[in-house]
């Protein structure tokens, strides 16, 4: 699984947690979704290295959290600038970029504003702009976060994200969610959730010229299946793959997800 590292970078007087693992001369940068607002990747290098070991055999992988302090009104585009600052600090000149959910929204801005930093782009279960499905989710999750109902937030997110076959096993853990460490503050989560509601890169997506793979789930109840098709309609010369039986959790549930990513990156 390569050299495993749990690190922190300083950007504009703020800190950003990151992890690194894997072998290879090429670099893959991963940007996670909204759940990063509840828990960063701090201390997660070993579990991630095991989970993504198939990719880690071929490349050096970095996973960046959002900065630990986010001012109200901070946008996905601002978060993309933070990613580029962290890349500069770590001397990552160019990388494959994999963005999942909100991470995919951030990755869109990175490819638009800093094309020199993006070699190939993978956008998984994400959207080019806010839609009614995203709005309904964020509204429900924000209410739970306001109530500091961490257990309810995890359960509702899971119920929307995963297939019924996956949930049959995962629901066994629900009674124990109350024992998990809870966020000390939901302020960062609220800023990130609001950034999803204001995201709109739709009219600028034709500026993305990096080879792009879009991966969606037909059963997606968080961004909707149409969101992936909307991305594909706007990004030149991209490729679209839709998983018929999976939803927003396709990147975790589909057994061939890493193979699909690896094949695309090796082309």
For the stretch 89-139, pLDDT in tens is 999 999 999 999 999 999 999 999 999 999 999 999 999 999 999 999 999
The residue behind tokens 């894997």 is 22
**How large a percentage of the chain has pLDDT more than 70?**
99
Confidence of residue 53 (pLDDT cuts 50, 70, 90): very high
For the stretch 8-35, pLDDT in tens is 999 989 999 999 999 888 999 999 999 9
Q: Is the pLDDT of residue 1 over 70?
A: no
The reported pLDDT for the residue numbered 179 is: 84
pTM higher than 0.95: yes
Question: What's the residue count for the chain?
Answer: 267
Long-range contacts of 240-244 (CB under 8 A, 24+ apart): 240/214, 240/216, 241/213, 241/214, 241/215, 241/216, 242/215, 242/216, 242/217, 242/218, 243/215, 243/216, 243/217, 243/218, 244/218
The reported pLDDT for the residue numbered 160 is: 97
The reported pLDDT for the residue numbered 178 is: 82
Q: Cα(122)–Cα(98) distance, rounded to whole angstroms? A: 5
Q: Is the pLDDT of residue 251 over 70?
A: yes
For the stretch 169-220, pLDDT in tens is 999 999 998 888 899 899 999 999 999 999 999 999 999 999 999 999 999 9
Q: Cα(105)–Cα(163) distance, rounded to whole angstroms? A: 23
Per DSSP, the three-state class of 202 is: helix
Q: Cα(100)–Cα(20) distance, rounded to whole angstroms? A: 17
Q: Cα(150)–Cα(101) distance, rounded to whole angstroms? A: 20
Q: Cα(250)–Cα(69) distance, rounded to whole angstroms? A: 30
Q: So what CATH class is 5-266? A: alpha beta
Q: Is the pLDDT of residue 2 over 70?
A: no
Q: Is the pLDDT of residue 166 over 70?
A: yes
Mean pLDDT rounded to a whole number for the chain: 96
More reliable by pLDDT, 98 or 267: 98
The reported pLDDT for the residue numbered 165 is: 94
Per DSSP, the three-state class of 228 is: helix
Residues near 9 by Cβ (< 8 Å), separated by ≥ 6?
Answer: 15, 16, 18, 86, 89, 90
The residue behind tokens 């109350």 is 178
**How large a percentage of the chain has pLDDT more than 90?**
94
- Ordered by start, the domain boundaries in the chain are 5-266
């Amino acid at each position: 699984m390569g050299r495993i590292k749990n690190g922190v970078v300083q950007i504009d007087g703020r800190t950003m947690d990151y992890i690194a693992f894997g072998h290879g001369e090429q670099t893959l940068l991963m940007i996670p979704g909204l759940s990063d607002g509840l828990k960063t990747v701090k201390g997660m290098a070993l579990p991630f290295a095991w989970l993504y070991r198939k990719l880690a055999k071929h490349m050096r992988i970095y996973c960046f959290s959002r900065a630990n302090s986010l001012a109200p009104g901070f946008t996905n585009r601002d978060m993309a600038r933070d990613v580029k600052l962290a890349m500069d600090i770590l001397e990552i000149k160019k990388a494959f970029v994999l963005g999942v959910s909100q991470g995919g929204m951030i990755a869109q801005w990175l490819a638009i504003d800093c094309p020199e930093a993006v070699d190939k782009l993978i956008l998984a279960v994400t959207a080019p702009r806010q839609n009614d499905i995203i709005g309904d989710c964020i509204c429900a999750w924000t209410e739970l976060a306001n109530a500091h109902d961490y257990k309810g937030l995890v359960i509702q997110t899971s119920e929307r994200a995963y297939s019924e076959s996956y949930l049959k096993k995962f629901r066994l853990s629900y009674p124990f969610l109350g024992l998990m460490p809870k966020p000390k503050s939901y302020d960062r989560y609220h800023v990130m959730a609001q950034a999803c509601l204001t995201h709109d890169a739709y009219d600028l997506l034709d500026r993305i010229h990096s080879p792009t793979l879009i991966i969606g789930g037909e059963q997606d109840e968080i961004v909707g299946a149409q969101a992936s098709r909307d991305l594909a309609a706007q990004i030149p010369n991209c490729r679209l793959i839709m998983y018929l039986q999976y939803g927003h959790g396709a990147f975790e549930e589909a057994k061939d997800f890493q193979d699909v990513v690896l094949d695309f990156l090796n082309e």
